[in-house]
A and B are shown apart, each in its own frame.
Chain A
Amino acid sequence: MEDYQPTIIAFVCNWCTYTAADLAGTSRLSYPPNVRLIRVMCTGMVDPKYVIKALLEGADAVLISGCHIGDCHYMNGNLKARRRVKLLKELLPRFGFDEQRVKLTWIGASDGIQFAETITEMVPELKALGPNEVRNQMVL
Chain B
Amino acid sequence: MAKIAKIEVKEQNPLNSLQGFFKTLLEQEEISAILVPQHLPMKDVVMPTLVTDPEKLNGTDPLAPVFPMNAAKVVSRLTGKPLGGSVAVVLRPCEIRAFIELVKLKQGRMEEVVLVGIDCLGAYTNVDYRRFVGDDGAEATLRFCQNVLAGKSTAVEDFDLSPACKACEYPVPENADVLIGLVGVDINQQMLVKANTPQGEALLEKLKLPEAKEPDGRKKAIDSLVAQRVEYRDKMFAETTEATSNIEKLTSYLANCVNCFNCRVACPVCYCKECVFVTDVFDHEPTQYLRWAKRKGIIKMPTDTVFFHITRLAHMSTACIGCGQCSNACPNNIPVMQLFRTVSSHTQKAFEYEPGRSVEDDPPLSIFREGEFLELTGGKE
User: Which residues of A are interface residues toward B (Cβ below 8 A)?
Assistant: 48-49, 52-53, 56, 68-70, 76, 79-80, 82-92, 94-97, 104-106, 133-134, 137-140
Contacts and interface: CB of A to CB of B under 8 A. Distances in A.
B246 A86 contact: no
Contact of A83 (B299, B300, B368): B368
A36 to B, nearest CB: 16
Contacts of A92: 310
A105 B378 CA distance: 8
Contact of B347 (A91, A104, A106): A91
A83 B373 contact: yes
Nearest to A53: B307
A137 B248 contact: yes
Interface string B289-321: 000100010111001111100110110011000
Contact of A87 (B296, B304, B350, B372): B350
A91 B314 CA distance: 7
A139 B346 contact: no
B376 interface: yes
Given A52-B310, A79-B368, A96 B380 contact: no
Nearest to B376: A104
A88 B313 CA distance: 10
B376 A140 contact: no
B245 A86 contact: no
B290 to A, nearest CB: 13
Contact of B368 (A48, A52, A80, A96): A80
B343 A86 contact: no
A137 B247 contact: yes
A52 B307 contact: yes
Nearest to B306: A139
Contacts of B133: none
Contacts of B305: 139-140
A68 to B, nearest CB: 7
A76 B248 CA distance: 37
Interface in B343-381: 343, 346-347, 350-351, 364-365, 367-370, 372-373, 376-377, 380-381
Interface string B5-49: 000000000000000000000000000000000000000000000
Contact of B373 (A86, A91, A137): A86
Contacts of B241: 94
Given A86-B376, A87-B365, A89-B376, A140 B307 contact: yes
**Of B307, B342, B369, which is in contact with the most chain A CB atoms at under 10 Å from its CB?**
B307
B244 interface: yes
Q: Helix, strand, loop or mixed for chain B's interface?
A: helix
5 contacts: A48-B311, A70-B370, A92-B310, A134-B247, A138-B298
Contacts of A91: 310, 313-314, 317, 343, 346-347
B246 A106 contact: no
Interface string B237-270: 0000100111111110000000000000000000
A75 B276 CA distance: 27
Interface in B214-254: 241, 244-251
Contacts of B347: 87, 90-91
In the complex, which of the residues B251, B310, B369 has the most CB atoms of chain A within 10 Å of its own CB atom?
Answer: B310
A85 B350 CA distance: 12
Contacts of B370: 69-70, 79
Q: Which 3 A-B pairs have the closest CB atoms?
A: A96-B246, A79-B368, A48-B314
B299 A95 contact: no
A106 B370 CA distance: 14
Given A86-B350, A95-B250, A138 B311 contact: no
Given A68-B381, A96-B250, 10 more contacts: A70-B370, A82-B373, A85-B373, A86-B351, A87-B347, A94-B241, A137-B247, A138-B296, A139-B300, A140-B306
Contacts of B251: 137, 139
Contacts of A106: 377, 380
Contacts of A97: 247
A137 B368 CA distance: 36
Nearest to A95: B250
Interface string B319-349: 0000000000000000000000011001100
Contact of A52 (B296, B303, B314, B317): B314
A90 B346 contact: yes
